[in-house]
Structure 1
Amino acid sequence: MKGLSITVALLADITLAGPSVRLRALTGPVTATQVGFLTAAVLIGGILISIVTTPDPLWWQLHFSRLGTFSVLSGYLFNSTLIATGAGVVAFGWRLRIEMKRHAGTAVLTNRRSATAVPILVVLIGIHLSFVGIIPQNTNEFLHDRASTGAVFSFTAILLSSRWLLRGMHRGVARASRRVGIGLVVAVSVYVPGFINLAAFELIGFSLIFFWLLFFARSLGRHADEPRRSRPAVQRTASTHHTVVVAPRAHARRIHAAASGPSMTAVRPRTVTRPRAGARARHGTNRAPTSRQLDSEHHRARNAAPRVDRR
């Protein structure tokens, strides 16, 4: 269902494009993408009308080919839709060859053989799909099944060879090929044990096929690696701030003298003063007083004593 929703979203590009774009598509050269969109629209529209008008409301319990087994409007419409869809896929492959030949041998499509091999496989898908409508399931079941299987095998050959045939294309094509391949493997793995019926498997398979074909057509001409966006150059501007170092005067003189060389005047040595006696006492000096200091202190104490008048 996811692949079908993506295909419908791609079809909206043309539906919502406006009458001017559709007019240019009719008057100008038709591209492979436009042919693919138109073919997918025919397939979806014809199948939806067949589902609405079918006399068997339980057809989905078997397969889509059940819609073409009735000799009424729904059966004729379903088979005609498959034939027209196959013819559209053949036209898509022919237009794809024209566009791929323009890019073959260039940087966007390095393998020259891809312009021949891929369109041939796409045309085989269309031919087998047309035979699914030409030979209904109730007419010849063996040939009907071989036709539907041939369409799936032709697309599988495109996926398996895309690594070599589509070398140089945008990396989105490689990612889409891997995801579609994984989707087909998952669909087969759940169909074989019986978790889904043949109708669900056909819906998933053909939705993935048309999604890949449309995505591939839109990716033609794109390089494998998109150019990286260059980072803006960092503009360096001169700083208006200055760094100021606060240092003692003598240390600043030494720095200035060392930077100026030996021709500058030498810095005067720092003068060291001895602390006073009171300062030594305050700092706790433990030296013993000399005899001279003791005499001076005794003399000061005697002079400081009060004198007594003996008259």
Structure 2
Amino acid sequence: MALLADAPSSLRLVAPRRAASRALTTLGTGNASQVGYATAALLVIGLLISIATTPDPLWWHLHFSRLGTFATFSGYVFNSTIILTGVGVVFFAHRLRRQMRQHAGTAVLRNRRSATFVPIMVALLGIHLSFVGVIPVNLNEFWHDRSSTGAVFCFVIVLSSTKWMLRGMHAVIGRASRRVGIGLVATVVPYVAGFINLAAFELIVFVQVFYWLLLFAGTIGRPTDAPAAPTPSRTASMHRTVVVAPRLPAEVAAGLSRRTPRLRPEVIARHTPRPERREPRAPLVHGRAARFQSARRVSAGRGDPERPALV
């Protein structure tokens, strides 16, 4: 990039023109996620080219808007990049509305108004971002600051309304919204305390903004994970079911007792099956004693006790 700053103007314009043409092609034909990634890539490439060609190497002591204050190649690249990024965000909002309308009112996006509210706020974010490049800080500082503040304010509105507007979406959006909200608060505190300057603050904020927007675009229509099936318990239940029979009148109970035959104990014992008894197995014998027992069984089977045993 250092060589790019010393190259002729005709060669220095080739790289941003090619990157811009590819990004604009994606903006016109891709879905919301593709448009979002193309817009983020366009912003990163334009910022890197402007940083590499800026005549002020200490611009980061102030803010990113310092790059657009020079009437040179780096200033033109920075302002053009911010304007095209804002246009890309507007296209991104248009694609968001198209995808959200397909799922509005279903289980993955219950609130029908979200398909209109969220894209409008994202489009306003892109319009405010474009005015940051249209009105450089050295041209009109008041309106330049209002434009950047308005872009952040639109994103904060979308982020704070996710609980009501994005009901039914995957749980990853809720977790990301909480993380980004905590990250924004954690970034404001050190900036106000003076630990980081405005350039670092802008960088952290816009990284979080694009992270949430790209994640949101990739999560539209994604069903919520099914809850895990409960594992059966191995312990037996200690509860017993007790059936209470209705109480009968005394004369009815006496009649039933006379009709029901009573069996004598010996009859009950006679018809009750007894458990089988298994004879204990003889212990295994090895060696000479085993052969002797085998010979005795053979002789006993033949019924000849006078016959000598086979050893």
TM-score, with structure 2 as normaliser: 0.66
Equivalent residue, structure 2, for 1:263? 270
Task: Tell me the CA shift for residue 228 of structure 1.
Answer: 3.9
Equivalent residue, structure 2, for 1:181? 181
Equivalent residue, structure 2, for 1:226? 225
Equivalents in 2 of 1:135, 1:29: separation in Å?
30
Cα deviation, 1:184-210, whole Å, max 9, x if unaligned, reads 001011101111000000000000000
Q: 1:232 to 1:60 in 2, by over 3 A?
A: same
Equivalent residue, structure 1, for 2:80? 80
Report 1 or 2 for greater relative contact order, CA contacts < 8 Å, sequence distance ≥ 6.
1
Question: RMSD across aligned C-alpha pairs, in angstroms?
Answer: 2.4
Matched residue count: 217
Which letter maps to 2:90? V
Equivalents in 2 of 1:63, 1:89: separation in Å?
22
Q: 1:232 to 1:188 in 2, by over 3 A?
A: closer
Q: 1:193 to 1:232 in 2, by over 3 A?
A: closer
The yes-or-no answer on 1:120 pairing with 2:120 is: yes
Equivalents in 2 of 1:145, 1:205: separation in Å?
15
Equivalent residue, structure 2, for 1:41? 41
Equivalents in 2 of 1:113, 1:137: separation in Å?
37
The secondary structure found in structure 2 opposite 1:155 is helix
TM-score, with structure 1 as normaliser: 0.66
Alignment of 1:223-262 (within 5 A): 223=223, 225-228=224-227, 261-262=268-269
Which letter maps to 2:205? G
Equivalents in 1 of 2:29, 2:45: separation in Å?
25
Cα deviation, 1:122-150, whole Å, max 9, x if unaligned, reads 00010000000000000000000000000
Which letter maps to 2:225? E
Structure 1 stretches of 5 or more lacking a match?
Answer: 1-21, 234-257, 268-311
Cα deviation, 1:125-181, whole Å, max 9, x if unaligned, reads 100000000000000000000000000000000011111000000000000000001
Flag as ranges the 4+ runs of structure 1 deviating above 2 A. Answer: 228-233
Equivalent residue, structure 2, for 1:299? none
The yes-or-no answer on 1:109 pairing with 2:115 is: no
Identity level (%): 62
Equivalents in 2 of 1:214, 1:120: separation in Å?
16
Q: Which has the larger radius of gyration?
A: 1
Equivalents in 2 of 1:215, 1:204: separation in Å?
17
Task: Tell me the CA shift for residue 264 of structure 1.
Answer: 6.4
The secondary structure found in structure 2 opposite 1:107 is coil
Alignment of 1:270-309 (within 5 A): none
